[in-house]
Structure 1
C-alpha cells in the first residue's frame, strides 16, 4: 500500500481514496490533497460529536463558515467543498448514505481577481530609473519599457516584435497577436525616441556578420530576448526605482497602460482594440479596478469615509467588550 493510501483514521475515507486510485487513476499529489482536506473536515466533525458518514448539511455548512472566518482564499474553500461533494457522492453510490448533505451547500463566490498595477508616479519612477542605465542594455531596456507602457503589448508580442514593425515612419505600429490577428497600436513620442536611440546600439546584440528579423535580437536559441529574461530585468529596475520587485512584471505594465488610459478618458472599445482582447468583457475588468481605487481613495481621504471607519472600529470594540 502506498503512502497516499496508508490507512487513515476513517474507513469510509480509505474507501474513497481507493476508488480515486482504482477508477480514476488519481495521482499521488491528488490523493494527498483529498486526504488532507477530508481529514480536516473529519477533525472538525469529531470535535462536534459527529462523523464523516453521518454529518448533516447544517454541520457541513458550519465547517465551511469556519474556513471563511479564517480568511482562507475562496479557491481553497471551493476546493474543500468540491472534495466534500465528491466524497458524499461516493458514499451515496456505495450505499453508505441515502442522501447527499452537500447538495444544498452554496459554493463560495470566487470573483475575478483584480489585476496588479503600478500608479502613474511609480511608472514614471521605473522609466526614470531605466534612463540612468548606461550602454546598449540600458537603451534596450528603456525602449522595451517605453514600448510596453505606450502600447499595452503582451510580453510575448513585445519580445517577438519584428524589426520591420518600427521601420515605417508612422504614428502606429502593426502587431500580430493571438490567433495571428493583426492590430494597430499607437506609438507616443517617448516610445518612438527610445526605440530610435536603441536602434543605434542594436547591432551589439548580434554576432559578427549576423542579421535578425527581430527588433530585440539575442544570440540565444530563440533568436530574441526571452520573456523570462525581460521579466528579470524589470524586477531589477523596479528595485532600482524603489519598488518591491514582486510588484512589477511585464503583465503589470500592460495593466498599468490600460488603467491609466481609462483614467484619462479612453473608452472601453478603443482599449479593447489596443489590448487585442477578443471579448470586451475581458477589458471591463479595468473598470472594476477604477471602482476599487475610487472606493479606497474615499475611505482614506474623505471625512465621511474616515467617520465610517471610526464607527466600525467603535462597533468592534463594543462587540469585544
Structure 2
C-alpha cells in the first residue's frame, strides 16, 4: 500500500520522501498488517501504546492524518475499493498552546543579542523580514533580490504552495538590497538565530523558536486593529481557523466583553444597599 502510494502520490508533496520513511516506520510498528484487514481499533491500540511510551499527542494526530491519506488517495485513484478503516478514528483532543509573541522591548533585546552573538550578518536581516511580513523563516531565507521590488517582497517557496506578495516600507526594501550587494544572498542561518534566541533568555516556549517572529507580527497586527481576513492572506493560511488563533488579541474583541457582557451595568448592582 505504502509503496503504491509513494509511486502515485509522494512526488506531489514537498516532504514526500520523509513522509514515505515515516509511513514505513509506522507500518513496522503496527506489525505490518494487511491493509484490507486493518481496523480502526487496531490503530487505536497502537496509539495507546505510543502514548504510554511518551509519544507526543500532536505527533500521533499527524501520523493518523498521514495514514488516512494513504487510504484516501488510493481510493480516489481507484487502486482500492474498500472504505478507509481509519475514517472513524478520532484525533486526540489537544490543549491549545498559547502562541508566544514579543513586546517592543523584547524585540529590542532579541536584536541586540543577535548583533552580539551571531557571526553571520544574515541572521538580523532575515529576522527583520520575518518580523515585518509575518513570513516563516524558510520563506524569508529563500528570498532573492528579484523578489524584492516596488515595496513588495514575494514569497514563492511557501508551505501552502501559493505565491504571496507582502508590502514593506521603502526603507526596508533599500536595506535588503544593500545587504544583498554587500553580503550576497542569504545562507542557512536558522541555527545561529536559535542560539541567539537562547542567549537572549526571552520567554519563548519550546518548539516555537523562529516562529515567534511570525507570531509577533500577527499578534501586533491584530492588537493594532488589523483585519483578521487581511491577516489570513498575509500569513498564507489556507483556512481562517488558523488565523482565528490571534482574534482574541483584537482590541474590539476585548471591548465586546464590556459592552455585551451580562453585567455591563455593574454600578447599578454595586450601589444596592442591603438592609
TM range (shorter): 0.5 to 0.7
What's the Cα RMSD here? 4.3
Task: Report how far residue 24 of structure 1 moved.
Answer: 5.6
Distance 2:214 2:114 in 1: 17
2:124 alignment partner, one of 132, 142, 146: 142
Cα–Cα, structure 1 residues 133 and 194, in superposed 2: closer, same or farther, change >3 Å? farther
Offset of 1:275 from its aligned partner?
Answer: 0.7
**Distance in 1 of aligned mates of 2:192 and 2:118:** 14
Matches within 5 A, 1:242-281: 242-243=201-202, 246=206, 249-281=209-241
Q: Structure 1's 233 and 189: CA in aligned 2 closer, same or farther, altered over 3 A?
A: farther
Tell me if the contact between 1:142 and 1:194 (Cα under 8 Å) persists in the aligned partners.
Answer: no
- What is the number of equivalent residue pairs in this alignment? 187
Alpha-carbon distance, 1:179 to partner? 5.1
Q: Give the SS at the match of 2:166.
A: strand
TM-score with structure 1 setting the length: 0.46
Residue deviations 1:46-88 (CA, integer Å, cap 9, x gap): xxxxxxxxxxxxxxxxxxxxxxxxxx99949x99xxxxxxxxx
Instruction: Decide whether aligned partners of structure 1 residues 39 and 115 sit closer, same or farther in structure 2, where only a CA change above 3 A counts.
Output: closer
Q: TM-score, normalised by structure 2?
A: 0.53
Deviations along 1:238-272, one digit per CA (max 9) or x if unpaired, are: 23433267476222211111111111111111111
Secondary structure (helix, strand or coil) at the match of 2:127 reads helix
Instruction: Name the counterpart of 2:155.
Output: 175
Query: Which region of structure 1 is more displaced relative to structure 2, 269-278 or 108-117?
Result: 108-117
Larger Rg: 1
Distance 1:74 1:129, change over 3 A: closer
Q: 2:144 aligns with which of 162, 166, 170?
A: 162
Alignment match, 1:195: 176
Contact 2:145/2:177 (8 A) holds in 1: no
Gaps of 5+ in 1: 1-19, 41-71, 80-105, 204-214, 217-224, 295-321
Q: Which SS does the other structure have where 2:201 is aligned?
A: coil
What is the aligned partner in structure 1 of residue 100 from structure 2?
116
Residue 289 of structure 1, CA deviation: 5.9
